[in-house]
Amino acid sequence: MKFNIICGTNNFLIEEEISKIEKDSEFEVAKLAGSNLNRNDILLISSSSSMFSEKKIGIIQGFLQRIILEEKSGDWDNVLSELEQVDSPNEIVFVEQFDEESGQKRFQKTNLIRDLNCPIDVLNTPKGKGSWAKIKEWISEREEYFGLKLSDSQKNFLLDESNRNFDLIDNELEKLSLFSGGGQIHHQDFNELVSLSKIHINFDLLDNFFGGNKKEVSKILVGLFKDGVSVNELIGLLNSELHKILEIQSLFNEGIYSKSQISDKTGIKSEFYINKLIKSARQVDQKRLLHIQHDLLNFDIKSKTESFNQILEFELLLSLT
C-alpha cells in the first residue's frame, strides 16, 4: 500500500495541498482525524473499496504524531509495516502540522518516519536568507489569483505586519478583493481595510501572556506604546479577544466543538482568527481568563478615574496576572 506524508509549519500551504488532492483527484478522497482512529480503523482503509472509483485516498491528520507519542503503549506496534505489505490500490496521505520547525525536524528524525519508505512533502514558512523574496513571490501569486493589483509598498506591509503568517495575509487579500472587485487598491482604502497589524500583535501579546513569557510581553508593549497605542485602546482590544475566547469555551460546555458550528455561532468567518481563538479556548483555564478579564476591567475603570503612570502599571498588571 502506498503512503505519502505532508508535514510542516505552514498550515495555509498544507490545507491548500489537501484541497488540491480533493479537487484534482479522479479517485474517492476521505478526510479522517487521526485522533479518532483505532488500529482496526487504520487497517480497514487498506481493504475498503470505493463505489465510485478504482481506489480510495485517505487523508489522515495527526495520526503519525499520535502513534509516536503512544509508542510505549504497544497498541500501534508494526501497524505501518502491516499496512505497507498489504496489496491494495488505496493510498494514505498522512498530514502532520507543527507550530515550530524544530518539531517538524524531530518528527522526521524518529525511527518510525525514517523506516517508512515514502515521499515526504515539507511545507514550512520560509525563514532565513532568501525567505523575504519567496514569501513576496507567494503574495504575488495570491494577488494574481484574487485579481488584485497591489503596489510594492502594500505587499511589503502585508509581509512585515503579518509576521509571515500565510493565513493572515490570505484573509486580507481576500477582503481586499471583495472590496475592490479585483483591480488596484488605493492607499487610503488599503490602510482602512487591512487590520492584520492589530490582530496579529494582539494575538502575539495574548500568546506570550498566556505562555508566561514576560520579556516578550514587555517588548510588544513597548512597541505598541511607541506606535501611539493607548493603554485604554489596548485594554479594549484584549477584552474583546478574551470575550470571544470565553464565548467559545461556553460553546464547548454546550457540547459544540465543530469549527464550522463555532464560526456560525460567533459570526467569525476568518479561518486564521477562528483557529487562534479555538486554540486559546482549549489551552487556557476559564478561571484564569475570568480573573484576567476582571483585572483588566478594574484597571480600565481606574485609568479613567485616577491619575497615575498608566503604562508602568499596565506592564506590572500583565506581569503579575
Domain extent listing, the chain? 2-122, 131-194, 198-320
Question: Predicted confidence band at 100 (pLDDT cuts at 50, 70, 90)?
Answer: confident
Q: What pLDDT score was predicted for residue 83?
A: 84
CATH number of 131-194: 1.10.8
Question: Predicted confidence band at 7 (pLDDT cuts at 50, 70, 90)?
Answer: very high
Q: How many CB atoms lie within 10 A of CB 21?
A: 18
Q: Which of 300, 285, 294, 295 is nearest to 318 (CA)?
A: 295
What would the pLDDT profile of 218-265 be if each residue is shown by its tens digit? Answer: 777 777 777 677 777 777 778 888 888 999 999 999 989 888 889 888
Question: What is the H or E stretch that residue 303 is in?
Answer: helix 286-305
Q: What pLDDT score was predicted for residue 5?
A: 95
Alpha-carbon span 198 to 146, nearest angstrom: 23
Q: Is the CATH number of domain 198-320 3.30.70.980?
A: no
Q: Is the dihedral of CA 253, 258, 259, 263 positive or negative?
A: negative
Q: Is a pLDDT exceeding 80 seen at residue 135? A: yes
Alpha-carbon span 169 to 162, nearest angstrom: 6
Work out the percent of the chain whose per-residue pLDDT is above 70.
Answer: 89
The residue among 11 and 65 whose pLDDT is bigger is 65
> Quick one: fold of 2-122?
Rossmann fold (3.40.50)
Identify the residue whose cell numbers are 485516498: 57
Q: What pLDDT score was predicted for residue 123?
A: 92
Q: Is a pLDDT exceeding 80 seen at residue 114? A: yes
Q: Is a pLDDT exceeding 70 seen at residue 200? A: no
Question: Predicted confidence band at 106 (pLDDT cuts at 50, 70, 90)?
Answer: very high
Question: Predicted confidence band at 195 (pLDDT cuts at 50, 70, 90)?
Answer: low
Q: What pLDDT score was predicted for residue 202?
A: 63
Alpha-carbon span 90 to 80, nearest angstrom: 14
Q: Is a pLDDT exceeding 80 seen at residue 208? A: no
Alpha-carbon span 71 to 65, nearest angstrom: 10
Identify the residue whose cell numbers are 482512529: 37
Alpha-carbon span 53 to 262, nearest angstrom: 34
Q: Is a pLDDT exceeding 80 seen at residue 307? A: no
Q: Look at strands 91-97 and 2-8 and give their pairing.
A: parallel
Task: Name the range with the highest mean pLDDT among 39-53, 152-166, 296-310.
Answer: 152-166
Q: What pLDDT score was predicted for residue 122?
A: 94
Q: What pLDDT score was predicted for residue 161?
A: 72
Name the β-bridge partners of 182. Answer: none
Q: Is a pLDDT exceeding 70 seen at residue 319? A: no
Rg (CA), the chain: 23
- Per-residue CA distances from 96 to 39, 67, 198, 205 (Å): 18, 12, 29, 26
CB distance 255 to 244 below 8 Å = no
Work out the percent of the chain whose per-residue pLDDT is above 90.
Answer: 12
Q: Look at strands 120-122 and 2-8 and give their pairing.
A: parallel
Alpha-carbon span 23 to 89, nearest angstrom: 19
Q: What pLDDT score was predicted for residue 72?
A: 87
Question: What is the H or E stretch that residue 44 is in?
Answer: helix 39-47
Q: Which of 290, 279, 203, 210 is nearest to 248 (CA)?
A: 279
pTM over 0.75: no
Q: Which of 103, 121, 102, 37 is nearest to 76 (CA)?
A: 37
Contacts of 105 (CB under 8 A, 6+ apart): none
Cell matching residue 23: 479537487
Question: What is the H or E stretch that residue 132 is in?
Answer: helix 131-146
The residue among 317 and 255 whose pLDDT is bigger is 255
